[in-house]
Amino acid sequence: MSKTLTPTKARDLAIRLASARPDEALSVARGIEAPWFRCQALSHVARHWPDERYSRLLEEAILAADCQEDIFNRVAVSAWPIRAYLERGNGPPAKELLIKYVAASGAIENMGSRSEALFSIFQASKPFDTGLWRPVFWALVAAAEPALSWRQLRNLRDAVAMVASDHDELVHQVFEKLSEPKNLSTVRRYLGQHTMQQPRSYF
């Protein structure tokens, strides 16, 4: 069925089917040739899979992510299987993946893209245990400088806003680690407006 659909539409179809018709959703997801969308679709199916075999489907999703040549794509799309593991209450493999992809993000030469990829996996992990997302957060802060892209500042600003309400001590440490005036002034101004952010939803 998915062979006649664009990767985006096939992914969306798998998502719609995932809860009520998981076997059909899996067939659609596996038929998606584009690895990015196959990873997302398999993650959705796994998130709603009715038994413990969901873990095997997430392993397939990771294989799809890792078969991409572009390291940015590998890191960024890993947010979906990471989040699926966490929503299924399975923290250990999610933690392993976070460690793996934070390390891999260092090979993303474009600083804006590096920040974007880290922000993706940060949002995937933020609603869960602090020990999961804290290393991602600091990698994201480190990726804010040297500031070469507007995406770095936006992601830094929003990530800090996501932790400010319940981890004020981290905000103070962020200011100690930053050196570029634009970063410092923008984040301070943003927090001064009492603007808080919530991570995006994945499923």
CA nearest to 48, candidates 87, 9, 13, 94: 87
pLDDT band at 194; cut points 50, 70, 90: confident
- Check whether 3 has a pLDDT greater than 80: no
Contact 125, 82 (CB under 8 A): yes
Contact 43, 80 (CB under 8 A): yes
CA distances from 8 to 95, 96, 109, 153 (A): 28, 28, 27, 29
- The interaxial angle of helices 7-17 and 35-48, nearest 10 deg, is 0
| Mean of pLDDT over the chain | 95
CA nearest to 39, candidates 68, 72, 71: 68
pLDDT band at 77; cut points 50, 70, 90: very high
What integer pLDDT is reported at residue 165 of this predicted model?
84
What integer pLDDT is reported at residue 168 of this predicted model?
87
pLDDT tens figures, 154-185? 999 999 999 998 898 999 899 999 999 999 99
What integer pLDDT is reported at residue 1 of this predicted model?
47
Residue 49 Rama label (left phi>0; alpha psi -120 to 50; beta): beta
Instruction: Report pTM.
Output: 0.94
In whole angstroms, what is the distance from residue 51 CA to residue 60 CA?
16
Percent of the chain having pLDDT more than 70? 99
